[in-house]
Structure 1
Amino acid sequence: MTKRRYFIRAGEVPGYHPANHVGTLNRRLIGRETVGAEQLEVLLGVIEKGKGALPHAHPGIEQVCYMLEGRARAEVAGEVCELGPGDCCFFPPDQQHTFTVLSDEPVKVLVIYAPPYEENPDRVIRPA
């Protein structure tokens, strides 16, 4: 039997480049494969200057972004906001959104999905 881990160090989690994002490296901290979480997913994203998420939405999935470092511009449902450390935003299910780094330094952002997104192509809607 494999011992389950409940404590995660970001540097021990492999990074990946998410679909529909540019200049982004994510690490899935909390998920099925790390701790067995089934109802939510937590990622650490590092995004380069001027890069980010292209317009898209997640059917049936809520998303929260909590800013750790840097500055970014988020847009959802016609609302636009500049975010910095300590700020967060909510992307409702099925609502198209974008996220773009404004600062010279990379953005570090904690991203939470409920239910888990898991980089499943069936869980993203891109504009036609």
Structure 2
Amino acid sequence: MLIKSLKKCEYFQVSDETVLCELLHPVNENIEMGCSVAHAIIEPGQASLPHKLKSSVEIYFIIEGEGIMHIDTESRDVKPGDAIYIPPGSSQWIENTTKNNLKFLCVVTPPWREEDEELCD
């Protein structure tokens, strides 16, 4: 049985300026799974940089806070309980519009790989 706790997870800033921890990743955990799961935090008034995953589907699941999700030319308000589907190759970014941290899970399938992600102009 594998159980990982956010309390013991190491957070770091990624290229899109989101602070996250890799909660479950098949390479890191040496497990078989078709996706990776990360926990992300965006501080009040901050936003991730526009970026895309070239060949992976990404799903954000909002846990705390509220914000605006931008995918290509669309923008929508998001809140706790919302699941956001991000198609492969889509320019995307999320901004925190509250005075509290915006916290969400990032599920990526196939599992996230650094070479698959690129910042948008």
Q: Same fold (TM over 0.5)?
A: yes
Letter in 2 for 1:29: L
Q: In the TM superposition, what are the counterparts of 1:39-50 in structure 2 within 5 Å? A: 39-50=34-45
Does residue 126 (structure 1) correspond to residue 119 (structure 2)? The answer is yes
Does residue 57 (structure 1) correspond to residue 55 (structure 2)? The answer is no
Given the two structures, how large is their TM-score scaled by the length of structure 1?
A: 0.86
Segments of 4+ in structure 1 off by > 3 A?
Answer: none
Identity of aligned residues (%): 17
Alignment check: 8 A CA contact 2:42 2:48 kept: no
How many residue pairs match? The answer is 120
Structure 1's unaligned 5+ residue stretches are none
Letter in 1 for 2:90: Q
Alignment check: 8 A CA contact 1:30 1:37 kept: no
Structure 2's unaligned 5+ residue stretches are none
Residue 111 of structure 1: how far off its partner (Å): 0.7
Tell me the distance in 2 between the aligned counterparts of 1:72 and 1:37. Answer: 33
Letter in 1 for 2:23: L
Given the two structures, how large is their TM-score scaled by the length of structure 2?
A: 0.90
Larger C-alpha radius of gyration, 1 or 2? 1
